[in-house]
């Protein structure tokens, strides 16, 4: 005996849906991008959209350009810097020694009380 639910087994968007129900699709153009690892990516853009000069390669993450003969070079990664390295960029050794001496003087003065 069949159940009384007539819409069993269907879900939203499950039926046949063509351009007549959705409307006409926007005109598109496919642009090829090439990364330095030799990967080719071809995303599609709306024909009236501004086409970017570079695109991130979905396979390796490197930047990809539209010129297949001269793909963009991989970005140069900067090594990790510690807090001390940033401080040394801002202050000379003489400044650091003066600040240290001042802090030690305050610490010694507070201990004498």
Residues with Cβ within 8 Å of 90's Cβ and at least 6 positions away in sequence, in order, are none
Let me know if 41 is exposed, middle or buried by CB neighbors in 10 A (0-12, 13-18, 19+): middle
**Pairing assessment for the beta strands 44-46 and 40-41 based on DSSP bridges:** unpaired
**60 annotated to a ligand binding site:** yes
**88 annotated to a ligand binding site:** no
Q: Which residue has the tokens 């990790």?
A: 80
**103 annotated to a ligand binding site:** no
**29 annotated to a ligand binding site:** no
Provide the annotated binding site for Zn(2+).
35, 39, 57, 60
Provide the annotated binding site.
35, 39, 57, 60
């Amino acid at each position: 005996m069949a159940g009384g639910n007539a819409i069993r087994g269907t879900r939203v968007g499950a039926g046949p849906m063509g351009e007549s129900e959705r409307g006409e699709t926007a005109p598109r153009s496919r642009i090829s991008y090439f990364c330095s690892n030799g990967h080719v990516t071809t995303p599609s853009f709306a024909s009236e959209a501004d086409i970017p000069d570079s695109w991130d390669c979905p396979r390796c993450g490197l930047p990809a350009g539209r010129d297949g003969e001269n793909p963009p070079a991989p970005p140069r990664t900067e090594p990790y810097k510690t807090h001390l390295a940033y401080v040394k960029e801002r202050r000379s050794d003489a400044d650091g020694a003066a600040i240290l001496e001042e802090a030690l003087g305050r610490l010694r003065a507070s201990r004498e009380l």
